[in-house]
Amino acid sequence: MSDLDFLDLNRKLCGFRTQVRKNRFRCDTRFAQSLHDKLLVAINSHLSTCREGARVRRLLRSETDPTVRDTLEGALGDCMGDLESGGRGFYPWHLLDAVDPDPDFGGYHHPVFAVWCHGPIPDWMVVGDEHLCGLGAILRRIATATGIRFTTYLCHTSIGPEGAGCLDPEIYETPAGNLRYR
């Protein structure tokens, strides 16, 4: 990843952060507001990593000491690894329950029951756009523009036609298997 990539990703994420903040004011449920807030936490984390990666890359250009260069290269690798494991790689960034697919074995790991489940992640676990107050479209644009993917899986069957607004906030504010938001 070059400086331009760090800077370009930083620019894109700043634009998406502004979109999420504006969109949050349209939210009509605490559930949707909570998801917007979690996305802002994720974007800010990625922005911090981009800034650190660009800073380390600049230092690396002028450093001549081999020991310091090794340390800086390790730090740069950590930044790139954080971005890869934070949504750009195999595992997406979970805004709710951490349901991780395993395409090699054709299934997923259930975070509540801590068991392996064969087959695709069921549709009832995916929180639909109708409950996200416009966030679904933003998540798709982020994935297209940056490669960073976010999930909205919820291992709770209470989201139905009446919406997510009636859920106990404990269900979505402390997601299963997801330690980022505790």
| Domain spans in the chain, listed from the N-terminal domain onward | 3-181
Distance CA 37, CA 175 (A): 14
Position 90 confidence tier, pLDDT thresholds 50, 70, 90: low
Q: DSSP character for 91?
A: S
Higher pLDDT: 171 or 116? It is 116
Q: What percent of the chain has pLDDT over 70?
A: 87
Q: Tokens at residue 106, please?
A: 């054709």
Q: How far apart are the first and last CA of the chain?
A: 31
pTM for this one? 0.85
Give the model's pLDDT for residue 4: 55
Res 75 pLDDT > 90:
yes
Distance CA 54, CA 25 (A): 32
CB 151 within 8 A of CB 92: yes
Helix (H, G, I), strand (E, B) or coil at 98: coil
Res 106 pLDDT > 70:
yes
Q: What percent of the chain has pLDDT over 90?
A: 43
| Beta-carbon contacts of residue 91 (< 8 Å; ≥ 6 apart) | 85, 100
Give the model's pLDDT for residue 85: 73
